[in-house]
Structure 1
Amino acid sequence: MNSLLKSIEIIEAVSENQPVGVGELAKLLDMPKSSVQRVLMTFQEAGWLRQAGGELTRWEISPRVIGVRPNALKGGALQKAAREPMQALCNAVNETAHLSIPDGTNAMVLVEEVECKQFVRTAYKIGDVSPFHATANGLALLAFMNASQVATILNRDLKKYGDKTINDPALIREELARIRERGYSVNFGQYRHAIYAIGAPIFDSSGIAVASVCISMPESRFDEGRIEEWARAVTGAASQISRGRAGA
């Protein structure tokens, strides 16, 4: 069982850090390089991983994973409720819209995306995972999770992705209070360098936050004077999705 769990940790680490080398994975997981290499080769033989190429051997998730996505990632009630509001949001602001759900208290998972028509735009892969503490979608949901869930997430060793990442639990809690007050989250390059985003939570019929939606853009198009305008568009889309999901 321990061996199986370690193998799952490796494939999850590849997904989060791809393309990634054996040495980097070994350091991240505190495992011998030889053990990591054996697991990688096994997953490659099974078709779950592939070598990304380049001077050093680096690994990435293979397209086969997409074929076995659970229904939660394929288009259930949430995605159906989100499709039109997300398209309208994308059209209104001409920026890419993203829909994410939590994987328990582990991470956020991207389940839907509507790309804008800008020549330079942000884009991610369906199924990509991202942290709660450093993303607009993650913070939007984290602000409305229960105290136990928030404690579980913030009591971890929170990774710093760059100079702008806030990984101090006390400062994050202060930001969560601001999000609850204003109804939306912001991410000013805290996760990906020069990528800015504004997000809002999506609730089920019981008032529980179950997902979040955001828009993201390159820093070059960010205009501080438009935050309120963008926030109204995002929170409006989130409200529409919440109502649509409740009525599904």
Structure 2
Amino acid sequence: MKSVTRSLRVLEAVAQHQPVTVGELTKLFGLPKSTVQRTLVTLAEAGWLRANRKDTTRWEIGARVLAVRPAALQGSSLFAAAREPMIRLRDQVNETIHLSVPDALHSMVVVDRVDCAHAVRTFHAIGDTSPLHATATGHAVLAHLAKSELDEFTAGTLKEYGEETITDPGELRAELRRVKDRGYAVNHNQYLQGVCAIAAPVLDGDGVPLAAVAASLPESRFASGLLPELGRMVTDTAAEITARHPR
């Protein structure tokens, strides 16, 4: 069982840091180089990993993972509930729409995307992760967590990604209260410079956040005067996904 757990952790690490070398993984896990190498070869033989074509000393995600991800997502009830509302929201605002889910209290993970028609647009690949405290999707989820979970989250260090990142726990709590009151969260350069987003939570029957849907756009098209209308459309979309998702 330990070898299975180790293999899964190595797979996750490659996905996050790819293309990555054996030496880098060895330092990351504190394991013998031979153990890491053996794990990589085993995963490669099964199709989960592959050597980078330009630099065969580096490892990256293999075709098996890329094939399984869309199949698993498209068979999920969340994907089925969210896809059509996301497309309609994209058509309304002509901006990129993302659906992200929380990975416990670690990060938000992009699980689906609907691109807009603009030549200049934001882009987050499926599987991309982002910090909860510095993103609109993260704030949308944090605002609906139980107090004990929020206490646990704010007890940790809140990393600064730019001047707009909220790193003070008290300020973050105040912002999350505002998010919950108005129904949507706003990210204006808090994580990636030049990238803005408006997000709202998808909730289960008990009000627990399952995911967040976001309209993401370059700062050049972001205007604070449009926020109430954009916020309403994103919130309506999240509410529709919530209603469509099986309880």
TM-score, normalized by length of structure 2?
0.82
User: Could you report, residue by residue, the CA deviation over 1:97-152 in whole angstroms, capped at 9, with x for unpaired residues?
Assistant: 11122233333232221111111222333333333222211210111011222233
Residue of structure 2 equivalent to 1:207: 207
150-159 vs 205-214, which deviates more? Answer: 150-159
Residue of structure 2 equivalent to 1:151: 151
Q: Matches of 2:102 and 2:124 in 1, distance apart?
A: 16
Q: Does 1:177 align with 2:159?
A: no
Q: Matches of 2:41 and 2:187 in 1, distance apart?
A: 37
Q: Matches of 1:210 and 1:170 in 2, distance apart?
A: 25
Q: Matches of 2:126 and 2:81 in 1, distance apart?
A: 17
Residue of structure 1 equivalent to 2:8: 8
TM-score, normalized by length of structure 1?
0.82
Residue of structure 1 equivalent to 2:223: 223
Residues 23/147 of structure 1: CA separation in 2 closer, same or farther (3 Å cut): farther
What's the secondary structure of 1:68's corresponding residue?
A: helix
Residue of structure 1 equivalent to 2:30: 31
- Residue identity (%): 48
AA in 1 matched with 2:48: W
Structure 1 residue 83: Cα displacement: 1.8
Q: Is the Cα contact below 8 Å between 2:135 and 2:187 reproduced in 1? A: yes
What does residue range 60-71 of structure 1 map to in structure 2 within 5 Å? 60-69=60-69
RMSD: 3.0
User: Could you report, residue by residue, the CA deviation over 1:171-213 in whole angstroms, capped at 9, with x for unpaired residues?
Assistant: 3222211211221111223333322111001122333322110
Q: Matches of 2:194 and 2:38 in 1, distance apart?
A: 36
What's the secondary structure of 1:202's corresponding residue?
A: strand
Q: Matches of 1:21 and 1:174 in 2, distance apart?
A: 42
Q: Matches of 1:182 and 1:199 in 2, distance apart?
A: 11
Larger radius of gyration: 2
What's the secondary structure of 2:69's corresponding residue?
A: coil
Q: Matches of 1:33 and 1:121 in 2, distance apart?
A: 43
User: Could you report, residue by residue, the CA deviation over 1:210-242 in whole angstroms, capped at 9, with x for unpaired residues?
Assistant: 211001112222222222221111111111111
Residue of structure 2 equivalent to 1:198: 198
Q: Matches of 2:51 and 2:177 in 1, distance apart?
A: 43
Residue of structure 1 equivalent to 2:106: 106
Q: Matches of 1:239 and 1:220 in 2, distance apart?
A: 28
User: Could you report, residue by residue, the CA deviation over 1:9-68 in whole angstroms, capped at 9, with x for unpaired residues?
Assistant: 3332332344455565556x3636836555444433432233446679554322321323
9-18 vs 221-230, which deviates more? Answer: 9-18
Q: Matches of 2:164 and 2:21 in 1, distance apart?
A: 25
Residue of structure 1 equivalent to 2:76: 76
Residues 217/60 of structure 1: CA separation in 2 closer, same or farther (3 Å cut): farther
AA in 1 matched with 2:208: I
What's the secondary structure of 1:133's corresponding residue?
A: helix
Q: Is the Cα contact below 8 Å between 2:144 and 2:207 reproduced in 1? A: no
Q: Matches of 1:26 and 1:222 in 2, distance apart?
A: 43
What's the secondary structure of 2:132's corresponding residue?
A: coil
Structure 1 residue 153: Cα displacement: 3.0
What's the secondary structure of 1:127's corresponding residue?
A: coil
